[in-house]
Amino acid sequence: MSKRMKRILALGIVGAMAMSMLAGCSGSTENQGAGETNQKEAADSADAENAEAKDAASDDAAGDNQNSEASAAGDMSLEVEVGYTGDPLEQIREVVDDFTAKTGISVELVTPGADYETVMKTRMASGDMPDVFTTHGWSVARYKEYLTPLNDESWYEKIDASILPVISDQEGNIYVLPVTQGMNGMTYNKKVLEDAGVKAEEILSMDDFMAACEKIRENGVTPVHIGGKDSWTTACLYNGLAPAFYTAEGCKYPSGDDLKDGSFDWDADGKYLLEEIADMVQAGYFNTDFITADEASSFVALGEGKCAFMFGSLGYVQKTKAVVSDVEIGVIPVPSTMQGGKSQYMTGEGSCFGIFKDTEHMAQAKQFLEFLSLPENANRIMKADGEMPALDGMDKEGSDCYQAYQESVNSFDIYYDNLFDREYYPSGMWSVMTDAVMEVFMDPTEQGIDRALSLLKENYIDKYEAAQE
């Protein structure tokens, strides 16, 4: 069976499963078809002296080297699988097309959209992996055995120190080119806070945050917007608040080691965060249409001053300004549950590209990553995904996200850590967090909290035990 037929079969299986996924808190919610591709024919006029392809070893080489297999007969194509949709996908497509025009190497761009995670799990099971793919936060924990180490690439020395630990395994190996890094915290509308008499720099504890929400609600504005129609956004809320309760330095219920080794006492400690969310629901701190509102409506609400806060990616700054260009948006870290505890930003992978270890086109795949690492191309990807720069030489001044982050860092005592679920939960808990928060949203009583707790506890135990086998 051909590679293309295997892929079509895998995508068909996924469609039948009717599962949902999260490409990341910062991803678009539009669902492009799993079969959407873009392929350009390779150039037919390469000279004979270019018959042997070479890895790109410099910026010039990345742009100018021709690949013999791609240019000889047009019978070779790099398959690149990504999770982008909508306008970001079109911007990435332009970068890919420029790579083909520059090198003669054809690229088949595949995007399963919202089914990306499910598709990739199916492809891992079948062994039919794309040549290059985005790892959506799991380059080490999930994809390491399928990826080739990239420490020897020329762009390695350009990786920002803040993202390097997140993408490195215990031996110090990395398996992706990190073009951008995701950073999660809280995004807010500056005017809404000002009108309510709230100073963002004074939100240092969860009590401070709840007091701010009350002032904002009394001023006639929704404190926190949730686009629950895109149900994974509820998991963003849980994932954003969890460190304040369980893992950030100075938190009220320190449990990081217990969550990692499987000894966390769910019955004693698992309710605290769920109870906080239930209290917020009962206090009217969320939009009343949280079930029918989608993620896009959250950007509209934040931009138009109809809500004060969103939990999730700092990339929401750019996405909100894309809706209301002149709005003033700020970011703050998630406050601690204890006075004197550290506020937290969670750092993870943004647009990160890895190479399948068994690809038949390793040289061309490395040349593709080299091309993406060039500042002019990395900046275009950063503009598309709205996340923080991850490589030296990128245009930090041109990143709304980075500028908002820099404005915040001097006002808080910040603790940095990996995204909560990626660091402290076994793989596969994202949809469980989604379902648990939905239980609390629909029934913020003790009964709803108990159902949510059972979901988290049972799935955590099952997935943790399965990971130990």
Question: Do the bridges between strand 222-224 and strand 307-313 make them parallel or antiparallel, or are there none, so unpaired?
Answer: parallel
pLDDT of residue 209: 98
Q: For the structural domain made of 3-178+351-386, what CATH number should be given?
A: 3.40.190.10
Is a pLDDT exceeding 90 seen at residue 251?
yes
Segment 323-375, tens digit of pLDDT: 999 999 999 999 999 999 999 999 889 999 999 999 999 999 999 999 999 99
List the chain domain ranges.
3-178+351-386, 185-348+417-468
Residue 21, pLDDT > 70, answer no
Residues 147 and 175: beta-carbon distance below 8 Å: yes
Q: Is the pTM of this model over 0.85?
A: no
User: What is d(CA 235, CA 166) in angstroms, rounded to the nearest whole number?
Assistant: 21
Q: What is the pLDDT of residue 252?
A: 95
- How far is residue 199's CA from residue 193's CA, in Å, rounded to a whole number? 7
What values do phi and psi take at 84, rounded to 5? -70, 150
For residue 147, give Cα distances in angstroms to 142, 144, 177, 209. 10, 5, 11, 42
The four Cα atoms 26, 114, 231, 186 give a dihedral, to 10 degrees, of 0
- Torsion of the alpha carbons at 63, 348, 37 and 399, rounded to the nearest 10: -60
User: Measured between alpha carbons, how far is 51 from 181 in angstroms, rounded to an integer?
Assistant: 37
Q: Which tokens go with 97? A: 């097309």
- Residue 75: predicted pLDDT: 67
SS3 308: strand
Per-residue pLDDT for 1 more than 60?
Answer: no
pLDDT value of residue 37: 35
Number of H helices, E strands in the chain: 20, 13
Q: What is the DSSP letter of 67?
A: P
- Give residue for tokens 């069976």: 1
Residue 178 has pLDDT above 90, yes or no: yes
Q: Binning pLDDT at 50, 70 and 90, where does residue 311 land? A: very high
Task: Name the fold adopted by 185-348+417-468.
Answer: D-Maltodextrin-Binding Protein; domain 2 (3.40.190)
- 185-348+417-468 has the same fold as 3-178+351-386: yes
Task: Find the mean pLDDT for residues 216-223.
Answer: 98
Q: Torsion angle, CA of 271/274/278/280, rounded to 10 degrees?
A: 120
SS3 6: helix
